[in-house]
């Protein structure tokens, strides 16, 4: 089971970090929710294998440290989600289906 494709309408924005909206549940360090609106990354599923960072032709992602999280201690943060060209490369390579991309 991957990221909830309906999170934008079914979950609440609980905070914003470095300009990125974070959707619930957000209870650091164990639950980090879904980060991003155009390019959403489920931080609770992300295992930080880096395939999305490598696959993205427009550098949407950067590493973000998440010490204490059970899945991994860093995540692929969609820091530059506005640059997304909707090629879906990140979605296609994510081994745990933690990414969802929707045009604004």
Q: Which residues are annotated as a binding site for [3Fe-4S] cluster?
A: 46, 52, 94
pLDDT band at residue 104 using 50, 70 and 90 as cut-offs:
confident
Annotated binding site: 46, 52, 56, 84, 87, 90, 94
Q: How far apart are CA 38 and CA 8, in angstroms?
A: 9
Quick one: pLDDT at residue 94?
Answer: 98
- Annotated binding site for [4Fe-4S] cluster: which residue ranges? 56, 84, 87, 90
Of the candidates 16, 41, 44, which has an alpha carbon nearest to the alpha carbon of residue 30?
44
Which has the closest alpha carbon to 29: 73, 64, 61, 63? 73
Q: What is the pLDDT of residue 38?
A: 98
Q: Are 74 and 66 in contact (CB under 8 A)?
A: yes
CA 32, CA 24: separation in Å to the nearest integer? 8
For the full predicted model, state whether its pTM sits above 0.95: yes
Over residues 10-23, the pLDDT tens digits come to 999 999 999 999 99
In this structure, the chain runs to a length of 104
Given pLDDT bands bounded at 50, 70 and 90, which one contains residue 1? confident
Residues with Cβ < 8 Å from 83, sequence gap 6 or more?
A: 58, 59, 60
- What are 44-100's pLDDT values in tens digits? 999 999 999 999 999 999 999 999 999 999 999 999 999 999 999 999 999 999 999
Domains of the chain listed by start with CATH number: 7-101 (3.30.70.20)
Please tell me the distance from the alpha carbon of residue 29 to that of residue 38, in angstroms, as a whole number: 24
């Amino acid at each position: 089971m991957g990221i909830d494709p309906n999170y934008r309408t079914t979950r609440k924005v609980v905070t914003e970090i470095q300009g990125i909206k974070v959707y619930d549940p957000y209870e650091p360090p164990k639950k980090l929710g879904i980060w991003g609106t155009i390019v959403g990354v489920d931080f609770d599923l992300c295992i930080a294998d880096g395939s999305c960072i490598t696959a993205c032709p427009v550098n949407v992602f950067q590493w973000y440290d998440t010490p204490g999280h059970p899945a991994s201690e860093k995540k692929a943060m969609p820091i530059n989600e506005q640059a997304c060209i909707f090629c879906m490369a990140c979605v296609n390579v994510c081994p745990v289906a933690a990414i969802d991309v929707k045009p604004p």
